[in-house]
């Protein structure tokens, strides 16, 4: 096959304890999945059906690397999240079977242009400009589920420049991982390489150039990355 230009490199996540990489296809994100975060954003934490938005695969930032401060915002926020990696196709899968398609788990930071997100929300517009931009998804190494199991509880936290800002427990998620996968698979054919960011707890806040972020989830590696000047 002859392309008119060379295709871009395949986005991927390194696998912990291995030289292998997990190729990434799409990045789905769940909105408002911790009640305390819903409240801090001025919402009602009733258990309504989850809603989703997408990030481009170009949003990935490799472990240990710095994400560029994005254009068009003066209020970039951090959001630590459990990331689910899909390893088998799934369409309209049941909650009982959903974990069978999970390949592994990682720690992610759903970087958000909060000013643009809130402006869109107030006008009833999509969140794309606030959420879906390059280098907006720093992600740790990926741990296979056959070695760590399926985390459903345990501490989730984030620090900026050594100061803790977010801390909660995975069991505080409104929608569990199996429920998220089952609901999402009603609308998309999930394929190997898809990632799902499962929502953030309370304590989100602003980031500045040269900030250092550390984020962790019990049983997973710590995600460490910086914020750099845009090039």
Kindly report the CATH number that applies to the domain delimited by 12-228.
3.90.850.10
Would you put residue 178 in left (φ > 0), alpha (ψ -120 to 50) or beta? Answer: alpha
Q: Which residue has the tokens 């630590």?
A: 80
User: Nearest 5°: phi and psi at 42?
Assistant: 85, 20
Q: Which sequence spans correspond to the domains of the chain?
A: 12-228
Cα separation, 101 vs 51, whole angstroms:
20
User: The pTM is what?
Assistant: 0.95
Of 199, 190, 197, 175, nearest to 95 by C-alpha is 175
Of 121, 128, 151, 120, nearest to 59 by C-alpha is 128
Of 116, 139, 103, nearest to 29 by C-alpha is 139
The tens place of each residue's pLDDT in the chain, 231 residues long, gives 899 999 999 999 999 999 999 999 999 999 888 877 667 766 666 667 788 999 999 999 999 999 999 999 999 999 999 999 999 999 999 999 999 999 999 999 999 999 999 999 899 999 999 999 999 999 999 999 999 999 999 999 999 999 999 999 999 999 999 999 999 999 999 999 999 999 999 999 999 999 999 999 999 999 999 999 998
Residue 2 makes CB contacts below 8 A (sequence gap 6+) with none
DSSP H or E run through 130: helix 128-131
Of 74, 77, 217, 69, nearest to 149 by C-alpha is 217
Cα separation, 127 vs 124, whole angstroms:
9
């Amino acid at each position: 096959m002859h392309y008119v230009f060379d295709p871009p490199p395949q986005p991927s996540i390194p696998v912990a304890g291995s030289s292998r990489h997990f190729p990434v296809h799409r990045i789905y994100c769940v909105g408002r999945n911790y009640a305390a975060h819903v409240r801090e954003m001025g919402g009602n934490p009733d258990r309504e059906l989850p809603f989703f938005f997408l990030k481009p695969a170009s949003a990935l930032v490799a472990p240990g690397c710095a994400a560029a401060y994005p254009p068009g915002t003066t209020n970039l926020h951090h959001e630590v999240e459990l990331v689910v990696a899909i390893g088998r196709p799934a369409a309209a899968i049941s909650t009982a079977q959903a974990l069978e398609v999970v390949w592994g788990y990682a720690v992610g930071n759903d970087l958000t242009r909060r000013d643009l997100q809130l402006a869109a929300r107030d006008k009833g517009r999509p969140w794309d400009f606030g959420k879906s931009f390059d280098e907006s998804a720093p992600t740790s190494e990926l741990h296979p589920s056959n070695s760590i199991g399926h985390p459903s509880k345990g501490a989730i936290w984030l620090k900026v420049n050594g100061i803790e800002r977010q801390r909660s427990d995975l069991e505080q998620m409104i929608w569990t991982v199996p429920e998220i996968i089952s609901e999402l698979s009603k609308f998309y054919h999930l394929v190997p390489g898809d990632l799902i960011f499962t929502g953030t707890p309370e304590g989100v806040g602003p980031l500045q150039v040269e900030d250092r972020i550390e984020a962790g989830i019990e049983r997973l590696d710590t995600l460490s990355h910086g914020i750099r000047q845009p090039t």
